[in-house]
Structure 1
């Protein structure tokens, strides 16, 4: 929801960073890889007790993830770039979930449910994007929903920063992901006739 409706407020910063990185000669795919490496370190930092560092690198990777897309649209998008972007996004999320799971094994069952809900929602998102004739600013149809990447980052951050409330945060995130998957499924039924 925030990615769809609040992007216009942060786009000037994203666009400025995209121009600067293009100026120094980086390609969108290189920034995607840098974003992935930074983001994947988040779970590792969290595991070693560096919560603030984990949160900072998570959000830095999210910012660079937005920047690489803007860079691609200003130069040339590539199908493989899209595959890398979507794949690496999930791996960054998995890194945080694994970091939390190793620190708090008693909530692994809830993290497993959360992971399943993310798989459910992203499967619908990607399938609709692949089979839809519609196309937006991205290289595929972007199906908005209640939980998009920014909401995911907010919940992952809350999970890392407030361990005393970890289980309820995970379960709320789970419910929101399931709702988003159902929301996307119902939209798919309407647009894919």
Structure 2
């Protein structure tokens, strides 16, 4: 939701950063890989007991993840491969945060909630990617970007809450799970309308 309605406010910063990185000679794919490595670094920081640093680094990774797409569009190098790489590495970063938290909190009830959360993310992303693949609609991205309650920014907010408030992991995981399920249902209902 925030990505859909708030992108116009942050796009000037994203665009200028993209221009700067292109002038430095970096490609969109290189920035995708840098964002990925930084995101993995965030999970390492979480695991070694540096939650605030982990969240800061996670958000840097997320910012660069937005910049790489802008770089591809500015340099006319957008590609299907870039989209696949970007979306795949995003999920690996998210999974790495969950793994770091699971290693820190191996209590059965927390692990069970993390399992449900992972399943809900898979459900929501399956709908998102399938609709994007079969829809004739286009967006500024290389496939139809289906809006919903939880988009990338909301995911980062919720992951941040999990990391920063680990004493309340069950509560925040339940909230995250509910948001993902609502988003998946929203996207399914929209898919039913636009794909009839």
TM-score after normalising by structure 2: 0.97
Question: 1:83 maps to what in 2?
Answer: 84
Does structure 1 residue 14 correspond to structure 2 residue 17? no
Contact in 2 for aligned 1:41/1:95 (Cα 8 Å): no
Deviates more, 1:20-29 or 1:45-54: 45-54
How far the C-alpha of 1:57 sits from its partner, in A, is 1.1
Contact residue 146 and residue 176 of structure 1 kept, 8 A:
yes
* Equivalent position of 1:191 in the other structure: 194
Q: Please report how far the alpha carbon of residue 17 of structure 1 lies from its aligned counterpart in structure 2 after TM superposition.
A: 0.5
Map 1:19-98 onto structure 2 (within 5 A).
19-75=19-75, 76-98=77-99
Q: Conserved in 2, the CA contact under 8 Å of 1:28 and 1:69?
A: yes
Is 1:140 paired with 2:143? yes
Q: Deviations over 1:88-120 (max 9, x none)?
A: 110110010101000011111101100000000
Q: Contact between 1:128 and 1:188, CA under 8 Å: does it hold in 2?
A: yes
Partners of 2:41 and 2:130 lie apart in 1 by: 29
2:115 counterpart (103, 112, 115) = 112
How many residues end up aligned between the 2 structures?
193
Taking the aligned partners of 1:40 and 1:94, their CA distance within structure 2 comes to 9
Corresponding residue for residue 177 of structure 1: 180
**Alignment equivalent of 1:168, drawn from 144, 166, 171:** 171
The separation in 1 between residues aligned to 2:57 and 2:112, in whole angstroms, is 26
Q: Within 1, Cα distance between the matches of 2:93 and 2:153?
A: 13
Deviation at 1:86, TM superposition (A): 0.2
**What is the alpha-carbon distance in structure 2 between the residues aligned to residue 168 and residue 48 of structure 1?**
23
CA contact (8 A) 1:117 1:174 kept: yes
How far residue 41 of structure 1 moved from its aligned partner, in angstroms, is 1.6
Q: SS of the counterpart of 1:6?
A: helix
Q: Give unmatched runs, 5+ long, in structure 2.
A: none
2:159 counterpart of 1:156 = yes
TM value normalised by structure 1: 0.98
